[in-house]
Amino acid sequence: MLELATIEAALHRLYIGAVGTSLRKEDRQKAREVTGFLGEIERALPARRSPLTLVDAASGKACLGLLAAELLLGPRGQLGHVTLIERDRGQAARARLAARTVIPDGSGCTVTEAEVGAAVWPTAPDLVVALHACGPASDAIIDQAVASRAVRLMLVPCCTSRQVAATALAVRRADELGLPRHAEVRRQFVEAMVAAERTLRLEAAGYKTTVCAFVPPTVSRYHLLWRAQRVCEPARMRRATAAWRRLHDLAIA
């Protein structure tokens, strides 16, 4: 199990590097989240030691994907190819600089500057990870992971906005039920509905899915991790598809 101090030191080395400096408060927060996520990745790695393909989607400066490559896959002899997908030019540039430290020859890493929903994903990646993909980015990641036939997906969504398709369903259902319009009441209901829709969509697409806390809620309000493995069990897919349709039918009745 990786220690927090190890992750903090790695983040400083990759993204700061100046002698006599230290991580900012928000960097230490990120370090705790990355430590928890890497622990989940470590538990999910297959016993086989052949190289894996890893996609870090909506990667930002790619600390999750690069540290997974350096601290988990590399020492186990499982480092295959890492694809980092980030739409922001500045973040992508920082990811490229950090990647040269982790994979000096560059042969095992690709930084793709694109929307996460673009058709730039490798075919059948072994593992897709995404930490705090905001709003509709989480849904785009789910859709692209399914379309690319990813073996495993580990996703931590972030904020839920009106740009998320399932939000409209949740709001309509809240109105039908006469739920109070207090912000906190509505927010929790909407977030639960969005979480249910995403879970059922993954299950219907053939992914055995569990949702768990990867860090305590005191570390991050967005502390839930979707762990999905492609198993394509027909009975599970039928049940999930029926439940997904009921969810949508309730929201549009």
Read off the pLDDT of residues 77-135 as tens digits, 9 standing for 90 and up. 999 999 999 999 999 999 999 999 998 877 789 999 999 999 999 999 999 999 999 98
Q: What is the pLDDT of residues 148-165, one digit of tens each?
A: 999 999 999 998 888 898
The reported pLDDT for the residue numbered 216 is 96
Q: Quote the CA–CA distance of 217 and 213 in Å, as a whole number.
A: 8
Q: Quote the CA–CA distance of 198 and 226 in Å, as a whole number.
A: 9
Q: Is 60 exceeded by the pLDDT of residue 251?
A: no
Query: Region 242-248: what's the mean pLDDT?
Result: 91
Enumerate domains of the chain plus CATH numbers. 4-160+207-225 (3.40.50.150)
Show the tokens assigned to 3: 């220690």
The reported pLDDT for the residue numbered 35 is 97
Pair type for strands 127-133 and 109-113: unpaired
Provide the pLDDT confidence category of residue 250 given band limits of 50, 70 and 90: low
The reported pLDDT for the residue numbered 123 is 97
39 and 68 in contact (C-beta within 8 Å)?
Answer: no
Query: Region 177-193: what's the mean pLDDT?
Result: 90
Query: Region 22-51: what's the mean pLDDT?
Result: 92
Provide the pLDDT confidence category of residue 53 given band limits of 50, 70 and 90: very high
Please tell me which of 20-24, 136-140, 178-182 the model is most confident about, judged by mean pLDDT.
Answer: 136-140
pTM of the model: 0.93
Show the tokens assigned to 186: 């509505």
Q: Residue 91: how many CA atoms within 13 Å on its side-chain side?
A: 16
| DSSP line for the chain | ---HHHHHHHHHHHHT--TT----HHHHHHHHHHHHHHHHHHHHS-S--S-EEEEEET-TT-HHHHHIIIIIITTTT-EEEEEEEES-HHHHHHHHHHHHHHSTT-TTEEEEES-TTSS-PPSS-SEEEEEEE-THHHHHHHHHHHHTT-SEEEEEE----TTSHHHHHHHHHHHHHT----HHHHHHHHHHHHHHHHHHHHHHTTEEEEEEESS-TTT-S--EEEEEEE---HHHHHHHHHHHHHHHHHHH-
Q: How far is CA 192 from the centre of its chain?
A: 18
Strand runs (DSSP E) across 148-237, as ranges? 152-157, 207-213, 224-230
